[in-house]
């Protein structure tokens, strides 16, 4: 059986597409653990989300309402499938 260029391209593209979907599916089932650390300069409380702005560490959205002091340094460990959004909080430590 001889494989021409079109069939080979179809097979390779199918393998690449399957690999991308498999990696995405694995990442959804096993979300990563992140550690966010920074000095807080602004806290915005919503009805279901707390948004923290910091110097150097950027912005982090926490699901739920939390009491965060402005000017303090926090270390927040969380699990998430999205960038800068803490879906599940593991710990919130006030460092300074």
Each residue of 36-53: pLDDT tens digit? Answer: 999 999 999 988 999 999
- The string of pLDDT tens digits covering residues 60-75 is 999 989 899 999 999 9
Looking at residue 1, its pLDDT comes to 65
Query: How far is the CA of 75 from the CAs of 10, 42, 59, 65, 91, in angstroms?
Result: 48, 15, 13, 17, 8
Q: Is residue 96's pLDDT more than 90?
A: no
The whole-number average pLDDT for the span 66-89 is 90
pLDDT tens for residues 2-30? 788 999 999 999 999 999 999 989 988 88
Identify which of 22, 12, 89, 90 has the alpha carbon closest to the alpha carbon of residue 50.
Answer: 89
CATH class of 32-94: mainly beta
Mean pLDDT of 71-93: 90
For residue 81, the model assigns a pLDDT of 82
């Amino acid at each position: 059986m001889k494989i021409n260029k079109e069939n080979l391209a179809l097979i390779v593209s199918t393998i690449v597409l399957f690999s991308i979907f498999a990696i995405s599916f694995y990442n959804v089932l096993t979300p990563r653990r992140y550690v966010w650390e920074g000095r807080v300069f602004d806290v915005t409380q919503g009805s279901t989300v707390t948004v923290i702005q910091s110097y150097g560490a950027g912005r982090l959205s926490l699901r739920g309402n939390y009491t965060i002091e402005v000017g303090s340094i926090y270390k927040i460990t969380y699990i998430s499938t999205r960038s800068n959004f803490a879906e599940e909080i593991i710990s919130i430590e006030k460092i300074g």
